[in-house]
Structure 1
């Protein structure tokens, strides 16, 4: 999603500037063209040489800005070059300048000379962030259609304060940059509420043993990210998922469950609010017929385990969904993936289904990439070749949008 893309990064004067090193390094390694410009104060925290080394290109400072060393004004060249512009950390000082259209350095002049989407990652002390003047400037800046935001989060700050103002983590920033490059800043899901299920359910037969599957929940996380980046309100009902993955979607409502029965109840609770329901979870088909309340000794383990069917959540939701709602299923398959996916789509009365192979390299459970064939009930098919799961998530939303 970033290969060959032109990403301009403005670094503000705050201790969180060190986090931007990881952002630059990640993007450059992924094949993006990265240019970095530093304010005077940011150089007190990270040097231009550091960013030049990480980006494989000289970093820009106000020293270059005020010297006639370029054929055209530097801020014009950079503003026209950029496909997306990140400002991180966004300090209270730079925030105030941007909110009022002031331009007294390379960074602020370049913002005014550009037309691409701008991603802001604020970072400051909690009391500073909560000041009425700062919040007024923030709200004014966020009213600009070009402006997109990531964070701030809450946690332990550099001043030892615990509270809001912590800059978003590099993984979260990079994910939103990827989305902006894909959508070019579109917020076409604004006003929609999207309900997503994710992860692999666990069906216990005693407190420590269960029937499960290898689902990591990464596809569900990517779907939640992409929807939020495009302006939607998102609720994620998830089976056990690694906490680091969940930390990548701090603004998403998260409902934790374990079993298919718990997921069934949670989806029924939240479905009335949703415009689109996406069943990305790997839900168990069967569960133990009997559950022990205590751990079974090895000698007491049954030679055979009686099973019963778990709730069919997608089928249940299809019976109660409203005309304006769209219900999307997933079909993880081996071998020929289209016929069983179409059968599932028709049997469960879905609006569309995502058929993805789990027996192909770099696809399916636990992988960073995926591939799929998107199918609707009218016979429309879209093939999505191998790509990262965030890109597949955006392709899925494009497909749903086209359903009408």
Structure 2
């Protein structure tokens, strides 16, 4: 177990909606990641999930309004909890609780604790589509988010518990968990508000015919983490990615491509409006010279496959960038990772580069974790010890 003195402390407020069951996964994941968790469960939430379940998953008593109105604590409970928390998460956020927060009302333990705290508050709304789209609800949502303490997650669209198909689904627990980890890193700062961040991710495929291609094992997880980190820090994010097994975060404009040529076209299209461009994609270096519209019979496959180079996307971006723009590249290497990264940084005239090893355990392609050395064109060097890719993404934004 982590050292209790170094553990981050997250207070989870559970609102009264059917999505309350999803919070169980979030609480369990937080605890397993080394976060200390406390839970407040509203009276209406107890119609959907029991305090016992939440207490079992958090390994601590789950607090209810009954606890709030009893004088069995040495200090007022809402004051104690408000001062204890590094981060407050409210999920699901109901229309009722949203209205109370937007108008500074406090009539239960949850809302009193919000007003008694100063930490960042992450909100994950969930409600029926008609409820979510009401003008009064949307006005409350906009008004609340004008307070820099509050960080709002987008609702997803899909089949709701009422059988309605539309907006209003609560963000999934893994997405909430990622946002929590971001806010614990940044302490809620939004240093990318007003910035447009353009990110490439994943591998490209250069086809010989409809089923055969030259590719690489990149999964795009690093680019996904960069998109999450930028979004959580307030940026407007466009993510251009190869084929992926994951979904882009809610609130990110995601554009799927296959070949280097397609990625080049999209990146150049979005370049003029971007402030920060991060080329984390593993773009192919070469492609088959000839392409067959139909699958080639095995007997017709060439013994020697003629190849030709694909566009050098990052070099083109660097040539066209404006003085206010920053372009960051990646260099996945084995052996000495610094020398080739420095050469790429200088040759392609980048602002910074991330050198990361592909021949070490738990780093590189497909891994959930990574390690790296950051270098920039001012001669700065930062060594990043093994950490999650989301943590590395935040370290990179801190660096640049």
Q: TM-score range by the shorter chain?
A: over 0.9
Give yes or no for the alignment of 1:43 onto 2:46: yes
Give yes or no for the alignment of 1:306 onto 2:306: yes
Give yes or no for the alignment of 1:58 onto 2:61: yes
Deviates more, 1:303-312 or 1:330-339: 303-312
Give yes or no for the alignment of 1:5 onto 2:8: yes
Matches within 5 A, 1:184-199: 184-199=187-202
Displacement of 1:139 in angstroms is 1.3
Deviates more, 1:191-200 or 1:299-308: 299-308
Distance in 2 separating the partners of 1:30 and 1:320: 43
How big is each residue's C-alpha offset from its partner over 1:292-328, in whole Å with a ceiling of 9 and x where there is no partner? 1110111111111111111100111111111111110
Aligned to 2:98: 95
Give yes or no for the alignment of 1:175 onto 2:181: no
CA RMSD of aligned residues (A): 1.1
Displacement of 1:250 in angstroms is 2.3
Aligned to 1:378: 378
Distance in 2 separating the partners of 1:139 and 1:311: 43
Give yes or no for the alignment of 1:73 onto 2:76: yes
Displacement of 1:134 in angstroms is 1.1
* Secondary structure at 2:62 match in 1: coil
Distance in 2 separating the partners of 1:295 and 1:152: 42
Displacement of 1:272 in angstroms is 0.4
* Secondary structure at 2:399 match in 1: helix
Matches within 5 A, 1:273-312: 273-312=273-312
* Secondary structure at 2:223 match in 1: helix
Distance in 2 separating the partners of 1:228 and 1:322: 23
Aligned to 1:394: 394
Displacement of 1:151 in angstroms is 2.1
* Secondary structure at 2:182 match in 1: helix
* Secondary structure at 1:195 match in 2: strand
Aligned to 1:349: 349
Would the aligned equivalents of 1:152 and 1:164 in 2 still touch at CA under 8 Å?
yes
* Secondary structure at 2:268 match in 1: helix
* Secondary structure at 2:199 match in 1: strand
Give yes or no for the alignment of 1:319 onto 2:319: yes
Aligned to 2:247: 246
Give yes or no for the alignment of 1:226 onto 2:229: yes
Displacement of 1:138 in angstroms is 1.1
Distance in 2 separating the partners of 1:307 and 1:205: 10
How big is each residue's C-alpha offset from its partner over 1:103-122, in whole Å with a ceiling of 9 and x where there is no partner? 11100000000000000011
Q: Which runs of 4+ in 1 moved over 3 A?
A: none
Displacement of 1:154 in angstroms is 1.0
Distance in 2 separating the partners of 1:162 and 1:17: 19
Would the aligned equivalents of 1:351 and 1:376 in 2 still touch at CA under 8 Å?
yes
Matches within 5 A, 1:61-210: 61-210=64-213
Give yes or no for the alignment of 1:211 onto 2:225: no
Displacement of 1:140 in angstroms is 1.3
Would the aligned equivalents of 1:331 and 1:356 in 2 still touch at CA under 8 Å?
yes
Would the aligned equivalents of 1:151 and 1:166 in 2 still touch at CA under 8 Å?
no
Aligned to 1:364: 364
Would the aligned equivalents of 2:155 and 2:250 in 1 still touch at CA under 8 Å?
no
How big is each residue's C-alpha offset from its partner over 1:326-371, in whole Å with a ceiling of 9 and x where there is no partner? 1100000001100000001111111110000011110000000001
Would the aligned equivalents of 1:10 and 1:107 in 2 still touch at CA under 8 Å?
yes
Distance in 2 separating the partners of 1:190 and 1:93: 29
Would the aligned equivalents of 1:331 and 1:354 in 2 still touch at CA under 8 Å?
yes
Give yes or no for the alignment of 1:334 onto 2:337: no
How big is each residue's C-alpha offset from its partner over 1:52-85, in whole Å with a ceiling of 9 and x where there is no partner? 1101111100111111111000000000000000
Work out the number of aligned pairs and report it: 397
Structure 2 residue runs without a partner (length 5+): none
How big is each residue's C-alpha offset from its partner over 1:201-221, in whole Å with a ceiling of 9 and x where there is no partner? 000001000000000000000
Alignment TM-score, normalising by the size of structure 1: 0.97
How big is each residue's C-alpha offset from its partner over 1:252-284, in whole Å with a ceiling of 9 and x where there is no partner? 111111011111111111100101110000000
Would the aligned equivalents of 1:240 and 1:258 in 2 still touch at CA under 8 Å?
yes
Aligned to 1:268: 268
